[in-house]
Amino acid sequence: MLNVSVLGASGRMGRSLLACIAEDKDLRLVGALTEPSDPAVGQDAGISTGLGSLGVSLLDNRTHVLEKAEVAIDFTLPEATQANVAACIDSGTALVIGTTGLEEEDIKSLREASGRIPLVYGRNMSVGVNVFMDLVRRATRALGEEYDAEILDAHHSQKVDAPSGTALALGEEVAKARGRTLEELGVKTRVGQTGPRVPNSVGFSVIRAGNIVGDHSVFFASPDERIELIHRATNRRTFARGALRAATWVHDKKPGFYSMRDVLGLQET
């Protein structure tokens, strides 16, 4: 049985992780981290999140939360990333991190940390999304630059970053398949008299409304036809289950910087 600690246990994703762990006979919850300001500190993590007793208290001390863990799963906020990673290094705990909105400096620190612990980083932990990304990469290569590429990202009204990390990752797959970078090809805003579309650019559109869990579409359009690849998440548990699959895969790996592509065995072609 794999001992798992959840960092950010009181958030949307944290609650989904707690529920999925409770349902899996091969996983054991051994730690649940929350913010010091959380009024539920000290309470049973399950009861405080509406799941019933799980026998593990919500704590604000990383050392105690990681004490028995073989792997930690982090869905918190970018400002907590450095401290969470440092605590995992100190405890020798493998880490799966799905926090979105990380900057380049954060990613650099993750890569440095991966020299000491096995670490899986993904801006979207859904198994389906990662297969979707692989299909987008293959389609981009097959279609060529004569097909315009556009990415639509739709999420709930409370999401704070845009475009989403997943949308950006999709754009990176398109740019990489064309031998370029997203910094070179990406167009994230269109306002006013923008003029005609720049050839070979990768456009982004964003919707933030209601309780949309996460929809992403990639459009490839030529003058004669259009291809649409779509992924829709209907429940946050899809991200939780993917993160737990990553945790099961990475806990006994050598130190290294891994992705969901590694977890799923999706090879570069």
- The number of angstroms, rounded, from the C-alpha of 132 to the middle of its chain's C-alpha atoms is 14
Q: Which of 109, 116, 125 is nearest to 16 (CA)?
A: 125
Q: Is 21 left (phi over 0), alpha (psi -120 to 50) or beta?
A: alpha
Is 155 annotated as catalytic? yes
Is 159 annotated as catalytic? yes
Contact 185, 122 (CB under 8 A): no
CA distance 245 to 261: 12
Contact 5, 69 (CB under 8 A): yes
Strand ranges, E, within the chain: 2-7, 27-33, 58-59, 71-74, 94-97, 118-121, 148-155, 186-187, 202-208, 214-221, 226-233, 256-258
**Annotated catalytic residue: which of 68, 156, 159, 253?**
159
User: Which residue in this structure is represented by tokens 């939780």?
Assistant: 240
Omega of the bond leading into 163 within 30 degrees of 0 (cis): yes
Q: Which two tokens stand for residue 116?
A: 């000491």
Catalytic positions, please?
155, 159
